Structure 1
Amino acid sequence: MSNFFGDLAPLSFDPEAEGLAFRAYNPDEVVLGKRLEDHLRFAIAYWHSFAWPGGDPFGGQTFERPWFGDGMDAARLKAEVAFEMFELLGASYFCFHDLDIRPEGASFTESKRNFEEIVAIFEEKMETAKVRLLWGTANLFSHRRFMSGAASNPDPDVFAWSAATVKSCMDATHRLKGENYVLWGGREGYETLLNTDLKQELDHMGRFLSMVVDYKHKIGFPGTILIEPKPQEPTKHQYDYDVATVFGFLQRFGLEKEVKVNIEQGHAILAGHSFEHEIALAQALGVFGSIDMNRNDYQSGWDTDQFPNNVPEVALAYYEILKGGGFTTGGTNFDAKLRRQSLDPEDLIAAHAGAMDICARGLKAAARMLEDDALEAPRRARYAGWETPEAQAMLTSDLASISARVEAGDVDPQPRSGRQEKLENIVNRYV
């Protein structure tokens, strides 16, 4: 035991507790015929919880952690603390990048050896722990070699390094029985067209992703390949800007049946959308996979990765997830980090516990709205005109025939209210 968390005990569901406890998240509570834990599938992000030093665009490290350092002893201690935290929270899953769990070596081979040693420690700990791996991924954005992208980099050696890194991370994810593998294109984009061959970079990204899918089948990885849409930050023009952009990219390379999306709340906002919009669109296009749950500071212009605390927002997101049938291999990963002033070990536990309660409240509100047909009934009424034989016939007709019907005086459209405020009031009654 590391003793990093002192005498903190594993959290339990106790709405009346004075100390750390779950007030709304009861993992065994049954909602829509399924345990709450199985609906939400909570995951802890290794990078923000254990690797992030507390910096922001204007200041450096504020956290002092006993495992901060470059050696393998620090990486082993970090793993020890991580699994202690998973146990305290009763977490179902965790997620990691390769760089989160191992120090950078002097060569690719040394980095891979460091990585595989920690993966072996994970494997041993997971034999007796409750926690499982929701997804693994590769960090192809932090090191200066990736300053011009990874799969889209103009240097073929960086492309090769990236491919080797992804292979090792896919192997590790498969070894740990991970349920998904994520590609996160933090720098897949460009700053200016003055030095960019946009078409070539997109073609290289498509080929890279095709190789990832081929390798998945080669090693028999049963999980889902996911892309995480990422707008603007840090690259001005991201190739994976939002769900619609990613879907168009997948269609172009014939991968729309092979790859789904991992949608982050903060990224959706940066792209000018709502979280529920991105989830609903992914469901409509058949590519919904998983979510990163967090929030942005709406007064700031970057991805602040705060823990969720807005029940109405969260409820609308889970409404779209539940309406689409819920998670399959995906889940709720807390891609969220403490504020720079939250220095204590207990803050890590409190942040996750509060977020888990917010998500539980949101999902239960969403489930009640579905059970009561509160939103679907007025939605069906709004589109009811399309159920008539005349409307259905239009969809298999032609412009001339439709025009003739209008000119004969058979059509006289009268606007009807969309009742947005009434529907917003309905949502507020549930949250």
Structure 2
Amino acid sequence: MTEPFEGIEPVRYEGPQSTNPMAFRHYDKDRVVLGKRMEEHLRPAVCFWHTFCWDGFDIFGGGPFSRAWHAGSSPAEIARARRAAAFEFFSKLGTPLHCFHDIDVCEPSDTPDARAQNLAVAVDDLEHRQAETGVRLLWGTANLFSHPRYAAGELTNPDPEVTACALRQVRDCLDATHRLGGANYVLWGGREGYDTLLNTDLKTELDHFGRFLNMIVEHKHRIGFKGKILIEPKPHEPMYDQYDFDTATVFGFLKNHGLESEVHVNIEPNHATLAGHSFAHELATANALGIMGSIDINSGNYQNGWDTDQFNLDTRDITLAMYELIRAGGFDTGGFNFDAKVRRQSIDAADLFHGHIGGLDALAKALLATETLLGQDEISANSARRYAGWDSALGKILLAPGTSLGDAADLAANQGLDGRQVSGSQEYLENIIKRALD
């Protein structure tokens, strides 16, 4: 195989004045920010699927990429080349973590037995490469959406034979993730949903989803996996209606099946906007409900309603989300996984570096802006003033367990309360964000 990144030197931090396109301007992994190294805050990861598996194919045409690792004498050789290229890339980019689907790291498999055997070979190789490079696994996941058997779903499929195949695949991939020291395991419900209610028993599918998710959690504990089980909220595409529409929907489902303390969320900005929310909203919701897990960092194209998985360079949008993340304590097992891909015309191997360098610099700049915001404390101080009334005698009476609706209404009438209006100061607060990014 041709050396995939021959001539490309390891990426270094050179500072904001650098004009070197192959250097970081803001991401200085060892810089201490809010008591931790920048790398420890961000925990950046590179994904296998978009970066090393995708050949640029879309529904309108074949793949234009001719990556060195896409060619080989056999499918097994191509898979080995892909893994080798990936770890060379991780090492040169300097990211400490990676993520994969089971089928990303091994050759195509005709049968479930072949898939299990091929995954076992791949895991042996991945274990060796992780030990050699020090790059660790942020999370693994089973691809339960590409094979034709999953056209009608995985854990929610109307055919128990299909669901049994999905459960076997999850078991194998969760075991592999555990062996590789993964910090999380993700259930990406690519086809957990429906195209039409005319052929869907909604209650049965949701009940099955809950039953089998409990089964997966039980297996996690049985094998001693210490990482988090994550569900990735996704509103639609490929199904018209997904059961994991957004973070709040996922929490309601988990609560209904007694899983709210066992399963967390893997949030993606592109999915948040497709659900009609902001990236920051999804993080704030996850933190409020106690189910924050990890982040697949990307963005969509606001001109369409498709999941375009672009590198997120919107530092204001990321800062609003970063503020919610860091003030809630930041990541424990999670991280920022670059679930992003270069555009189809970006055919050079160097373009993969440009995308990730820009994405990491945007995260770093947002983290530094968040440090400024938390140091000034103006936003939280404004919020404290806005809600201070709930610490007053009136607020305490309204929240007291014995206060009835009639008591509250009589209190308002007897005291002649009219609810004076107080400014929300939105423009003032938005200017604080702007100044932190200037």
**TM-score interval w.r.t. the shorter chain?**
over 0.9
Deviations 1:281-316 (A, max 9, x none): 000000001100000010021010000111101111
Q: CA separation of 1:2/1:389 partners in 2, compared to 1, >3 Å: closer, same or farther?
A: farther
1:57 deviation in Å?
3.4
Counterpart residue number, 1:422: 428
1:19 deviation in Å?
4.1
* Aligned counterparts of 2:67 and 2:23: Cα–Cα separation in 1: 24
- For the 8 Å contact 2:47–2:100, the answer to whether it is kept is yes
Higher deviation after alignment, 421-430 or 339-348: 421-430
Deviations 1:339-373 (A, max 9, x none): 00000000001110111000000111012101210
1:403 deviation in Å?
1.1
Give 2:287's match in structure 1, choosing from 242, 260, 283. Answer: 283
Match of 2:158, SS state, is coil
Residue 3 in 1 paired to residue 3 in 2?
yes
Contiguous gaps of at least 5 residues in structure 1: none
* Aligned counterparts of 1:142 and 1:184: Cα–Cα separation in 2: 12
Deviations 1:24-70 (A, max 9, x none): 00001000000000000000011000011112332221111233267
1:407 deviation in Å?
1.5
Aligned length: 431
Give 2:36's match in structure 1, choosing from 34, 37, 60. Answer: 34
Give the CA RMSD over aligned residues.
1.1
Counterpart residue number, 1:351: 355
Higher deviation after alignment, 10-19 or 25-34: 10-19
Counterpart residue number, 1:14: 14
- For the 8 Å contact 2:103–2:143, the answer to whether it is kept is yes
Match of 2:329, SS state, is coil
* Aligned counterparts of 2:415 and 2:388: Cα–Cα separation in 1: 21
Aligned counterparts, 1:142-181, within 5 A: 142-181=146-185
Which amino acid counterpart does residue 383 of structure 2 have in structure 1? R
Counterpart residue number, 2:408: 402
User: When the two structures are superposed, what TM-score results if normalisation uses the length of structure 2?
Assistant: 0.97
Give 1:62's match in structure 2, choosing from 64, 72, 92. Answer: 64
- For the 8 Å contact 2:2–2:68, the answer to whether it is kept is no
- For the 8 Å contact 1:2–1:80, the answer to whether it is kept is no
* Aligned counterparts of 1:331 and 1:58: Cα–Cα separation in 2: 33
Counterpart residue number, 2:97: 93
Residue 43 in 1 paired to residue 45 in 2?
yes
Which amino acid counterpart does residue 413 of structure 1 have in structure 2? G
1:208 deviation in Å?
1.0
- For the 8 Å contact 2:4–2:69, the answer to whether it is kept is no
Contiguous gaps of at least 5 residues in structure 2: none
* Aligned counterparts of 1:57 and 1:306: Cα–Cα separation in 2: 17
* Aligned counterparts of 1:272 and 1:412: Cα–Cα separation in 2: 34
Aligned counterparts, 1:123-272, within 5 A: 123-272=127-276
Deviations 1:119-178 (A, max 9, x none): 110101111212100000000011111110000000111100000000000010001000
- For the 8 Å contact 1:294–1:336, the answer to whether it is kept is yes
* Aligned counterparts of 1:241 and 1:395: Cα–Cα separation in 2: 32
Which amino acid counterpart does residue 93 of structure 1 have in structure 2? L
Q: Give the fraction of aligned pairs with identical amino acids, expressed as a percent.
A: 51
- For the 8 Å contact 2:21–2:354, the answer to whether it is kept is no
- For the 8 Å contact 1:90–1:130, the answer to whether it is kept is no
* Aligned counterparts of 1:7 and 1:65: Cα–Cα separation in 2: 15
Which amino acid counterpart does residue 42 of structure 1 have in structure 2? P
Match of 2:133, SS state, is coil
* Aligned counterparts of 1:358 and 1:421: Cα–Cα separation in 2: 24
